[in-house]
Amino acid sequence: MQILHIDSSITGANSVSRQLTAQVVDSLKQAHPDAKVEYLDLAVNAPTHLSAQSLGFRTGQAAATEIERQENAISEALVSQFLAADVVVVGAPFYNFTIPSQLKAWLDRVAQAGRTFRYTASGPEGLATGKKVIVASTRGGMYSSSDMGQAMEHQESYLKVIFGFMGITDVNFVRAEGVAMGPEAKAKALETAQAMIEALEPVAA
C-alpha cells in the first residue's frame, strides 16, 4: 500500500489538522505495517500558484523557456505522486470559509486533463479511480449544525467535488470543529474526531 500524507496547516505544532492526519496515518500503518508513506508539507513546500509559465500541462504546449520546463516538472512530479498513492490523507484546516491557498495550489497542479480527468462526449470523466481519500477537516467554529453554517462552508464541500471530479468516490472526513471555542469544546471536538478515525472502514491491501 502506498500512502500519500499531506499537511497544509500553517500553524505548525499547534495545528489540530496535523495532529489528526498523523493519527490517521498511524492507524493505517498499524493495519498495514508494510505500507509506504510519502509526506508532503504544503506549508513548507507548496507549488506556486498557476501562472502563464505553469499552464503547459493544461495546454499541452511544449515548454519554451527554462521556467516553463521547471514548472512543468513540478506539475508532473506532483500528479505522478498523487496517482501512485492508494490512500491520500489530507490535512485541511478551515481558512476564511475554505481550504488553505497552499492546498488549492496543489489541487490545481494535480487536476490535469488526460491524467486525473478527461472530457468526453457525455461530459467529464474522472481517471484517478480506485483511491481512498481521508480528509482531516478542522474548524475553529461550528458550521455543520446549522443551515447558515453549511452555506458558509466551502471546505469539505469543495474537496468532495474536486476529488469526485477526478474519479474518487471514496472520500471520508474526520472532522474536528469548534476547536477555537474554548478548552472544553476543543477537547470534545478531538474526542469526536478520534471516534471518526476509529470508525473508518478498513482499507484493503
In which band, very low, low, confident or very high, does the pLDDT at 59 lie, cut at 50, 70 and 90?
A: low
157 is in an annotated binding site: no
For 130: left if phi > 0, alpha if psi spans -120 to 50, otherwise beta; the answer is left
In which band, very low, low, confident or very high, does the pLDDT at 41 lie, cut at 50, 70 and 90?
A: very high
138 is in an annotated binding site: yes
Beta strands in 53-180 (DSSP E): 87-93, 117-120, 123-126, 132-139, 170-177
pTM value is 0.94
Average pLDDT over residues 20-43: 97
Q: Show me where the domains of the chain are located.
A: 2-199
9 is in an annotated binding site: yes
- 147's CB contacts (< 8 A; 6+ apart) are none
Give the model's pLDDT for residue 17: 98
Question: Is residue 58's pLDDT more than 70?
Answer: no
122 is in an annotated binding site: no
- Per CATH, the number for 2-199 is 3.40.50.360
Q: Output the nine-digit C-alpha cell for 51.
A: 501562472
141 is in an annotated binding site: yes
114 is in an annotated binding site: no
pLDDT mean across residues, the chain: 94
Give the model's pLDDT for residue 57: 64
126 is in an annotated binding site: no
144 is in an annotated binding site: no
Question: Is residue 61's pLDDT more than 70?
Answer: no
Digit-coded pLDDT (tens) for 117-167: 999 999 999 999 999 999 999 999 999 989 999 999 999 999 999 999 999
- Quick one: which of 47, 55, 56, 49 has its CA closest to 81? 47
